[in-house]
Amino acid sequence: MDVRIAVLPGDGVGPEVTAEAVACLGAVAEGFGHRFEFQEALIGGAAVDATGDPLPEATLALCRASAAVLLGAVGGPAWDRHPRNQRPESGLLRLRQALGLYANLRPVAVHPALEDASPLKPEIVRGTDLMFVRELSGGLYFGEPRSYSDEAAVNTLPYTRMEITRVAKMAFELAAVRRQRLVSVDKANVLETSRLWRKVVDDLAPTYPQVTLQHAYVDSFAMALITRPRDFDVVLTENLFGDILSDEAAVLAGSLGLLPSASLGGSVGLFEPIHGSAPDIAGQDRANPIGTILSAAMLLRHGLGLEAEAAAVESAVNAVLHAGHGTGDLQGARHAHGTRSLGALIREGIRSSVAVALRH
């Protein structure tokens, strides 16, 4: 395969973690005989500083002309006082919307070597394997009207049947090939949007008879998620609930730094870790590169359709965690590493798993 991959390092730790993920993709290309052409562009605060715009036209054009987009993180205190459309986050939100990415997949699995890394009891987190499907291009994030003054501010939470249907279908389809369980999270006891959400999800259910559907209110689900996480498989949520619940779910995995995501639905997918730019540790070789490396694995699987290649990356990550390696955010990692040395270990793992595969 010969494809272009857009790389948007962004701010804070973004450049460090994307560098490790790109190097892993390079090892995959070498091992499996692909040609990946990586092209970098500006996004977020870095783009604001250079051009005044958190999503320059050239960046969007590059993304549209690429097979997939790998992103680091955006944001930081330097831009906190900027008006909304010049904040780094608005560049990311515009990119998601411009590419038509309505479904954000956030897998959360607890690695056996990291059962003690969570502040929760090991017997609670053990065996957790969740897939969040977060609606990504609607809801409160994009709702109009919106306004701000120092005395009163407005945001709106709109959803249409079409917007709910397309993301819910993706969740049902994922559940069908996983453990056939879907929980749809809403606040239908209070919000009209949630009533529609529930109705649309119920209307789809007969099309997927093999999937057991359950509805949950977001407040009680927030509690269930960390008291009995093993009871759930695929979790479908609207945009803001998904943002909040997926950070909460990171506690199960042991560190936010481990978790990847894939944003799908348009012609080009966007792959990014769920963590932010972590300005406090930026440039210190301390960030965990695994969330971005696993995002690169999702890029291979969902963006390029390269399943064996994705699996090679994931098994290299698993092996490294299994052997007790980790960055400082992982409680109980027996071998402490910086961003670069952990990335290098994972790359070695990719190379040797390719070598083994070639021998068979």
Closest distance to ligand IPM from the beta carbon of 40 (Å): 20
Closest distance to Mg ion from the beta carbon of 145 (Å): 24
Contact 64, 49 (CB under 8 A): no
> What number of chain residues touch Mg ion (CB under 5 A)?
1
Instruction: Tell me the C-alpha to C-alpha distance, in Å, between residue 6 and each of 82, 205, 353.
Output: 27, 37, 26
User: Is the Cβ of residue 77 or residue 305 nearer to Mg ion in the bound state?
Assistant: 77
Residue 336 CB-half CA count within 13 A: 6
User: Is the Cβ of residue 92 or residue 278 nearer to ligand IPM in the bound state?
Assistant: 92
Cα 351 from Cα 27, distance rounded (Å): 6
Q: Which residue, 146, 145, 138, 162, is CA-closest to 237? A: 138
Helix (H) or strand (E) holding 28: helix 14-32
Looking only at residues 39 through 78 of this chain, which bind ligand IPM when binding is defined by CB under 6 A? Answer: 75
Q: Which residue has its beta carbon closest to ligand IPM?
A: 89
User: Is the Cβ of residue 213 or residue 249 nearer to ligand IPM in the bound state?
Assistant: 249
Beta strands in the chain (DSSP E): 2-10, 35-40, 68-73, 103-109, 129-135, 147-148, 153-154, 181-186, 212-217, 234-237, 262-264, 269-271, 325-326, 335-336
Q: Which residue, 287, 236, 328, 208, is CA-closest to 16? A: 287
Cα 268 from Cα 156, distance rounded (Å): 28
What is the radius of gyration, based on Cα positions, of the chain? 20
Closest distance to Mg ion from the beta carbon of 281 (Å): 18
User: Is the Cβ of residue 172 or residue 221 nearer to Mg ion in the bound state?
Assistant: 221
Catalytic residues: 141, 187, 219, 243, 247
In the numeric block, the tokens 């006082």 are attached to: 81
> Strand pairing of 262-264 and 269-271?
antiparallel
Residue of 11, 135, 243, 272 interacting with Mg ion (CB under 5 A): 243
> Strand pairing of 234-237 and 2-10?
unpaired
Closest distance to Mg ion from the beta carbon of 37 (Å): 30
Partner from Mg ion, ligand IPM, none binding residue 300, C-beta < 5-8 Å depending on class? none
- Number of Cβ within a 10 Å radius of residue 66: 21
Partner from ligand IPM, Mg ion, none binding residue 289, C-beta < 5-8 Å depending on class? none
Binding to ligand IPM by residue 30, rule CB under 6 A? no
Partner from Mg ion, ligand IPM, none binding residue 250, C-beta < 5-8 Å depending on class? none
User: Is the Cβ of residue 40 or residue 89 nearer to ligand IPM in the bound state?
Assistant: 89
Q: What is the DSSP string of 257-320?
A: GG---EEESSSSEEE--SS---GGGTTTT-S--HHHHHHHHHIIIIIT--HHHHHHHHHHHHHH
Binding to ligand IPM by residue 274, rule CB under 6 A? yes
Binding to ligand IPM by residue 262, rule CB under 6 A? no
Binding to ligand IPM by residue 243, rule CB under 6 A? yes
User: Is the Cβ of residue 205 or residue 240 nearer to Mg ion in the bound state?
Assistant: 240
Cα 229 from Cα 183, distance rounded (Å): 12
Residues 79-118: x where in contact with ligand IPM by CB under 6 A, - otherwise, as a string = ----------x--xx-------------------------
Binding to Mg ion by residue 272, rule CB under 5 A? no
Binding site residues, ligand IPM, CB under 6 A = 75, 89, 92-93, 243, 274
Binding site residues, Mg ion, CB under 5 A = 243
